[in-house]
Amino acid sequence: MATYDFIFDGLGLREWCDKDATAGPMSMADLLAQGSGKGADGGTDAGGGSSGVSLWELPFPSLDALNKACPAVARTREVTKGVESGFLDIKDSLKVVLDPVTQPLSWFLEGALYAFQTTPWFIMIPLLLAVVYFASKSFKLVGFVAFSIFFLAFIDHYNFAMQTLAIIFVCALLCVLLGVPIGIAMSRSDTLQRMTIPVLDMLQTLPPFVYLIPLIFLFSVTEPKLYGIAIILYAIVPVIRLTDLGIRLVDKEVIEAADAFGMTDRQKLYRVQIPLALPNIMAGVNQTIMMSLAMVVIASLVSAPGLGVLVLRGIRNLELGVGLIAGLGIVLLAVILDRVTKAALARVNAASAVQRNS
Amino acid sequence: MNGAAAMEKTVKLSIRNLYKIFGPDPRRALEQVRAGVDKPELWEKYRHVLGLQDINVDMKNGEITVIMGLSGSGKSTLIRHVNRLIEPTVGEIVLDGENIIEFGEARLRELRRKEMSMVFQHFALLPHKTVLDNAGTARSVRGEDRSSYEKDARGWLERVGLGGQEGQYPHQLSGGMQQRVGIARALTSNAPIMLMDEAFSALDPLIRTDMQDLLLELQTELTKTIVFISHDLDEALKLADHLVILKDGMVVQQGEPQEILLNPNDPYIVDFISDINRARVLRVRSVMDTGLDAAPAVAGTVDADATLESVIALSGGDTALSYAVKRNGTHVGYLDMKKLVRALVPTAAARDGMRNAKRRSPG
C-alpha cells in the first residue's frame, strides 16, 4: 500500500508490523483528508500511493512515512510526546532542587520592584541622575537621561519604566556576579572553556521564546523568578565570553612579569588580570544589559511587568498607539542604558589605555 | 669590572648541564639528543624542538653576564630558566650553592620575590598603575606597605631620571622612559640578581646608548649580578664582563669579551665580529705587552681600560710610538702602536659568506 512496504516485506517483518501496530490517534492531516473524502493515502502524500506515484515524489523515509508502511514503527508525534513526558517525569525532582535555589531570585526581583516603585519620583529621579553622573562624568548625558525620564513620566509611563529598570537592574547584576567568576574559571582552564562554549552558543542562539516553554512547566507563572531565570540565561552569555576573552588577551609579557616578581595566583588575578581585562568585561556588561532589556520585553508574556506589558497589550488588542509609545519608551531606556554603560566603559579604557611603543 | 678583579669574585649563579626540549615527550627526545641527534634532525624525525643543549655557564657575583645570539638561538629561553618561568627538561640552576630546580612552589615564589628581579623587552608595566606604583610592584607583591617602599621607589625613579613623573601612567611616557620605570622597578625590589631580557632592544639607538650608560653607571655603585640578553654585539661588548655566545641552543664560546674578539673559536663568531669597529671595542689592556725587559721610549701614558680608538687619536696615527700603560696610577705594561694596528686586522675573514649561508637557513 505505502511506498516503503517493500522494505518491511523484503526483510520479512510484515508479521511484526501488523501484530504490533501503534494505533495512536489520527493526525489532524489524516482527519482533514478523510473529511474531504479523498482517503488517507491521497491526502498528505506522506504515505504515497502505491501506484501512480513517480520516483520524483518519493517521500523521505521519515517516521511518519515508515509508519504508513508498517504501523509498528513509531510516529513523529511519539517523539515529541516522549520529550514532553520525559520532561514532565523529571520535572518534580528538578523542582525540588531548583525551587529553593532560585527562590532568592524571586525575593530580589520582588524587592527591587517594590523599591523602585515605592520610592517617590522626586527621590528616584535625582538618584538615577546621580548614578548616571557618577558612571559617566558627563553633564550632557545626565541632561539627556533627565529629559527622557521626565518625558516618560509626563506621559504616565514612569511606573512601567521603573518596573522594567528594576528587573534589568536585578538580572544584569546577577549576570555579572555569576558571569565574571564563570569567565575567570574558563580563562584558566582550556577544558572548561571547551565544555562551556557549546552551552554558551546554545544559550545565545536559542530563540528567546524557547526559554520560556520549559520554565513555564517548572515554575508557577505568578513567580517573578520564572522570567528572572529566562532573562539571566539569555543575557549572561556576553559577560562570560568577554571576561574569558579579556583575561586571555592580557599581555603575556605582563603576566610573565607578574610571575617573575613572585605574585601568587590571587595577586595576579586581582592586580593584573582583572584590571587589564576590565575594558572587555565592561563591554560584556554593556551587552548583557542590552540583552536583558530585549528579554524583559519578551518576558512580559510570562507576567513580567513593565513596558513590555504595554507592547503586548498593543499586539493583543491592536492598540496601535499604546504599543508604539511603549516601544518608544523601550528605545529610550535602551539608549540610556547603552550610553551610560558605554561612557563608563570609555572612562575605564582611558584609565588603562595600553600604548605599546614597540 | 676587569679581568684581574674578576678572578677573585665568587660564582653567584651557575647553570649546569641544562637541556630544554619542547614537544610532547621531551624525556625521550633528550635521549636522542644525547645520542648525537642535532636540532634539524630532531625536528625532522621526532617533531621536538631542541631549545637548549648542554648549557654550562657560571655567573659571578657583581658581574654583568651577557648572553648573546641571534633570534631563535635560545637566549630568551635560557634567561627564563634562571627564575624558572620555563622549567628545564634536565639540568641544574645553582644559586649560592642551592639547586633552585628542586625548590617547591612557595620557595620559588620567595626566590622570585627577594632574590631576582627582571626587566622586559616590552617593559611589561602595569598600565593601570602610576609610575610610582609600578616601581613599587615587587615590594608590594611581598606584602609591604606603600609607606615602606615609597621612599625607595621615589629614590630610584629619581636616579633613573624620572623625578617628578611619579604620578603619571605608563602610556603617558615614551618607550625609553617606560623602560626606565622597568629598571627602577627592578632596582626597588633590592634583589641581588637582575635579569634583563633584551631590555634595550625595543628602544631607539640613541636612547639605547643612554640606557646602556645608565646601566653601567648604576652597576659601578650597585655591583649586582646581572644577566643581560642581547642580539646586538656592540651592546654585548659594551656591557659584558662575561660574554656567552649562543647558537642553535648551544654555547659556541664564552669568556671575556676582549678575549673572544681577539680569539674567536668559531666561524659563526668570526662572522659576527667582522662588522664591528674593533678600535672602539678593544682595550689597551688586551693588546699591551706586560713582560718587556727593557722599557722602550714612551710618548706618554695611557689607561689600561682606554679604547684603542682613543690611543690612535692620541698618537695622531703615528705607528712608531709606544705608550706606557697604567691602571689606577700603577704601571702595568707598554703599548706598541704597531701591535695596536695589528690587533685591528679583522680575524681571517668572513666576508665570503658565513652569514649569507646563515641567511639561507636561519637557525
pLDDT at B355 over 50: no
pLDDT score of B99 more than 60? yes
Grid coordinates given for A34 = 478523510
Does the pLDDT of residue A358 top 80, yes or no?
A: no
CA atoms of A247 and A256, how far apart (whole Å): 14
List, in sequence order, every residue forming a beta bridge with B14; answer none if it has no partner. Answer: B58, B94
As a whole number of angstroms, the distance between CA A294 and CA A288 comes to: 10
Residue B353 pLDDT grade (very low, low, confident, very high; cuts 50, 70, 90)? very low
Q: What pLDDT does residue B335 have? A: 86
For residue A237, name the pLDDT band (cuts at 50, 70, 90): very high
For A79-89, write each residue's pLDDT tens digit: 899 999 998 88
pLDDT of residue B110: 92
Task: Give contacts of A 270-309 with B, CB under 8 A.
Answer: 271-272, 275-276, 278
pLDDT at A326: 93
Percent of chain A scoring above 90 in pLDDT: 58
The residue ranking higher by pLDDT, B56 or B291, is: B56
Q: Is it the case that residue A352 has pLDDT exceeding 80?
A: no
The residue to which cell 608595566 is assigned:
B125
The overall average pLDDT reported for chain A is 86
pLDDT tens digits along B167-181: 999 988 988 899 999
- Mean pLDDT for A28-51 is 55
Q: Is the pLDDT of residue B53 over 60?
A: yes
Mean pLDDT within B108-112: 92
Determine, for residues B110 and A262 on separate chains, whether the beta-carbon distance falls below 8 Å: yes
Cβ-contact B64, B222 below 8 angstroms: no
B137 interface with A at CB cutoff 8 Å: yes
User: What's the pLDDT score for residue A1?
Assistant: 56
A106 CA: distance to closest CA in chain B (Å): 38
C-alpha cell belonging to residue A150: 521626565
The CA-atom distances, in angstroms, between A89 and each of A92, A97, A210, B21, B196 are 7, 14, 20, 56, 65
Of A260, A263, A264, the CB nearest to B83: A260
pLDDT of residue A42: 42
Q: What pLDDT, on a 0 to 100 scale, did the predictor assign at position B8?
A: 63
- pLDDT attached to residue A353: 55
The answer to whether A263 contacts chain B (CB < 8 Å) is yes
Q: What is the pLDDT of residues A177-189, one digit of tens each?
A: 999 999 999 999 9
DSSP secondary structure string for all residues of B303-331: ETT-BHHHHHHHHTT-TT-EEEEEETTEE
Q: Name the one residue in this structure whose C-alpha cell is 649586582.
A: B224
CA distance B303 to B326: 5
More reliable by pLDDT, B3 or B213:
B213
Q: What pLDDT does residue B17 have? A: 92
Question: Looking at chain A, which residues constitute the CATH 1.10.3720.10 domain(s)?
Answer: 84-357
Q: How far is CA B121 from CA A33, A139, A356, B21, B208, in A?
A: 79, 42, 11, 24, 12
Say if the Cβ atoms of B174 and A261 lie within 8 Å. no
B167/A contact by beta carbon, under 8 A: no
User: For residue A21, what pLDDT is reported?
Assistant: 62
What is the C-alpha separation between A283 and A183, in angstroms, rounded? Answer: 14
**Global ipTM:** 0.81
Q: What is the pLDDT of residues B285-338, one digit of tens each?
A: 888 888 766 677 788 888 888 888 888 888 888 888 888 888 888 888 888 888
Contacts of A351 in chain B (CB under 8 A): 128, 169
The answer, for B141 touching chain A at a CB cutoff of 8 Å, is: yes
Distance CA A109, CA A173 (A): 11
State chain B's mean pLDDT as an integer: 86
Question: What residues does B57 pair with on adjacent strands?
Answer: B15
Q: How far apart are CA B96 and CA B193, in angstroms?
A: 11
CATH number assigned to the domain covering A84-357: 1.10.3720.10
Read off the pLDDT band of B4 (50, 70, 90). very low
pLDDT above 90 (res B204): no
